[in-house]
Structure 1
Amino acid sequence: MIDIRQVTKCYNHVTAVDAVTLTIRQGEIFGIIGYSGAGKSTLLRCLNLLERPTEGNILMDGKDLTALSDKEVRKERQKVGMIFQHFHLISSKTVFENVAFSMKAAGKTKEEIKIRVQELLKMVGLSDRSGHYPAQLSGGQKQRVGIARALANDPKVLLCDEATSALDPTTTKSILNLLKEINRKLGITIVLITHEMEVVQNICHRVAVMEKGKVVELADVYDIFANPKTALSKQFVQTVHSLELPERLLTGRKGPIVQITFQGGSAEEAVISETLRQFNVNANILHGQISYIQDQPLGTLIIELIGSHTEVQQAMDYITERTNRLEVLAGVA
């Protein structure tokens, strides 16, 4: 759907995006995550040539946008909707007029505009706000107007630039659910940039992690959470799945402290119960959690295993065999 080939974007002597190559598949929700200054917003703006790459190519449905004239690019942009962190609604226009704005620019008739805007406002849950002005709306409602406006000309791609960063957690969840529903119903490809790993966990199929203009890791979202490869990815995962223990829990223990990661089927099996039945050990639970990412369970448990050295080692070997993911955090004091 979207092929990003060795794209570099420079501003004077600063390289904001550095030789990025990615393929974004038709119909997926693709996340790009990084801290401020990582280059993610610049890369997103290169996708519809709001920023022209210094080097490299952007292909959409096989068409090289970087080879087009400015007039041709403007036509292609009608296939790409965009929503922003700070909404960018026209304060002097009603909700209806804001959504209709791009359709007028595209030359649609009044009747076409009326029917389409009504459909979109119903889709985003704002049918009763058609005549309201932006100042009369909450932040979540403003973003829903932004989403409706971005969908007005039936785009194939929706670009989301920190679309939930200005919203509270409850409103963020409702907007993410709306985007997921739009993706499911319309099959539209969504590219979403964020600095919040919880957003990635909740909505994305795959994610690219960016640092200093480069993509340092690319994987399915489940795999990033289950087995992050880079230090930066681990930092982002820990913002959602924080498993740090107080230092006092790591000292003066009767047995080793181990962290067990349960993926897929093992997360729904009684591995620990079976371990305690088979071996003469006790388990002191210190920390644990389970999440569902793309409907797949991912669990983490930190326990202290108490018993003889032989029994404890056999228990750890058994757990490792069942889960393939056991890490000793601290030995016997």
Structure 2
Amino acid sequence: MLEFQNITKIYESKNKQVVGVDNVSLKINKGDIFGIVGYSGAGKSSLLRCVNLLERPSNGKVLVDGIDLTQLSSSELRTARLKIGMIFQHFYLISQKTVGENIAFALRAAKTPKNEIHKRVKELLAMVGLTDKEDVFPAQLSGGQKQRVGIARALANNPSILLCDEATSALDPKTTLSILKLLKQINEKLGITIVLITHEMNVVKEICNRMAIMQDGKVIEEGAVYDIFAQPIKPLTQEFINSVVSFEIPDEILKDVKGQVIKLLFKGEVAGEGVISDTMQRFDVKGNFLHGTIEYIQERPLGIFVMELQGEKSTVDEAKKYMEQRGAVVEVVKHV
């Protein structure tokens, strides 16, 4: 398990102090794919770099499997860092070395016996789907292939934690999906805990099981990805969710509606049931769909619909109550 306890990181300049991370506490369980989301300057990169003490916290503790890294000696910290892999947005491959040599470099740095290095390089290349690229130089690779080399290098010393610093931000959408699929396979196959920072909610939606939202150095919301997508609390979280699934209804459309506009949320298996059609048949109300979709998060359906209900107020209220009894969350967007 990875745990941050009251982590604060303060950057000193000549005239002022800048708080990069402000008293953050988080628990990331073994095997999690944990997303840390925020805009530039939110503190997410600073927090990530505190994991392996590339940034030493000004205050607080970083615990990996119960061991506080901030209390380790230099030699102990070097050993601990071998179990924390890291991949970057811009790859940072050595251009003068081949793919195989880039991966071998990480193994030599960890003093891996020479007779084991070549075998391990072959294993890692197979894992990331680059078996035929061992003798190729980075300049001959696509962006996605370079990131696969970066992932192989990060996995070289069998880490228990993999840190991803905007690992897909420089990639096109199709390549991003292939890299995320690879990371998920690695997580499932090796049980590695992945901590991923990003400003892209699609990335979190695709592979993360838990997440935290950061703003001004603080964690403002945290929890299961499914739950946060279903019912975001903070305005910033709602803004991020709306970047993936938007349900803003134009004012011009709302001006023309004659009934009550409601937003319906269906979680899990309820999303696939005919709750709305059953309601229309059971009650003397007319329904008009304005917006709707079913998203799949962690392979669980999440249905969100905006619709207009027309009819007698008492009947509309009964219809809403019936949908709530069937498992829907009902929010009134506009009263009659």
TM-score by length of 1: 0.97
SS in 2 for 1:153: coil
* Separation in structure 2 between the aligned mates of residue 81 and residue 264 of structure 1, nearest angstrom: 35
User: 1:43, 1:331 → 2: CA distance?
Assistant: 44
The match for 1:260 is 264
Q: Look up the match of 1:57.
A: 61
Q: Which runs of 4+ in 1 moved over 3 A?
A: none
Question: Aligned ranges for residues 281-296 of structure 1 at < 5 Å?
Answer: 281-296=285-300
Work out the CA distance in 2 between the residues paired with 1:252 and 1:57: 56
2:23 aligned residue (5, 19, 24)? 19
Question: Tell me, what secondary structure is at the counterpart of 2:256?
Answer: coil
User: Within 2, Cα distance between the matches of 1:317 and 1:62?
Assistant: 48
The one-character-per-residue Cα deviations of 1:52-97 (angstroms, maximum 9, x if unpaired) are 1111111111111101122221111101100000000000000000
Unaligned 5+ segments in structure 2 are none
Match of 1:320 in 2: 324
Check if 1:195 corresponds to 2:199. Answer: yes
**Cα displacement (A) at 1:324:** 4.3
Q: Which amino acid aligns with 1:2?
A: L
Structure 1 residue aligned with 2:2: 2
Deviations 1:8-34 (A, max 9, x none): 111111110011111111111111111
Answer yes or no: is the 8 Å Cα contact 2:84–2:160 preserved in 1.
Answer: yes
Task: Answer yes or no: is 1:38 the counterpart of 2:42.
Answer: yes
| Aligned amino acid, residue 329 of structure 1 | V
Q: Is the 8 A contact 2:4 2:24 kept in 1?
A: yes
Choose which of 78, 85, 91 in structure 1 pairs with 2:89.
85
Letter aligned with residue 80 of structure 1:
I
Q: Which residue matches 1:67?
A: 71
2:157 to 153, 163, 170: 153
Letter in 2 for 1:16: G
Instruction: Give yes or no for contact 2:267–2:328 (8 Å, CA) kept in 1.
Output: no
Q: Which residue of 1 aligns with 2:243?
A: 239
| Partner of residue 174, structure 1 | 178
Q: Which moved more, 1:304-313 or 1:158-167?
A: 304-313
Structure 1 distance, partners of 2:220, 2:159, is: 30
C-alpha separation between the residues in 2 aligned to 1:174 and 1:63?
Answer: 34
Q: CA deviation at 1:307?
A: 2.4
The structure 2 residue matched to 1:142, chosen from 143, 146, 159, is 146
AA of the residue aligned to 1:178:
L
Deviations 1:165-190 (Å, cap 9, x if unpaired)?
11111000000000000000000010
Superposition pairs for residues 208-247 of structure 1, below 5 Å? 208-247=212-251
RMSD: 1.1
- For 2:49 and 2:173, how far apart are their aligned partners in 1? 26
SS state at 1:108 partner: coil
Question: In 1, Cα distance between the equivalents of 2:237 and 2:115?
Answer: 49
Alignment-mate amino acid for residue 38 of structure 1: A
Q: Which moved more, 1:234-243 or 1:68-77?
A: 68-77
How far, CA to CA, are the matches of 1:75 and 1:304 in structure 2? 61
- Residue type at the aligned position of 1:146: G
SS at 2:8 equivalent: strand
Matched letter for residue 10 of structure 2: C
Q: CA deviation at 1:109?
A: 2.5
Q: Structure 2: how far apart are the matches of 1:284 and 1:205?
A: 34
Report the counterpart of residue 306 of structure 2 in structure 1.
302
Q: Counterpart of 1:249?
A: 253
2:128 aligned residue:
124
Does residue 110 of structure 2 align to residue 106 of structure 1?
yes
Show CA shifts across 1:313-332 (max 9, x none). 22122122223411121233
Q: Distance in 1 between matches of 2:306 and 2:69?
A: 50
TM-score normalized with structure 2 length: 0.96
Deviation at 1:263, TM superposition (A): 0.7
Partner of 1:162: 166
How big is the shift at 1:110?
A: 2.9
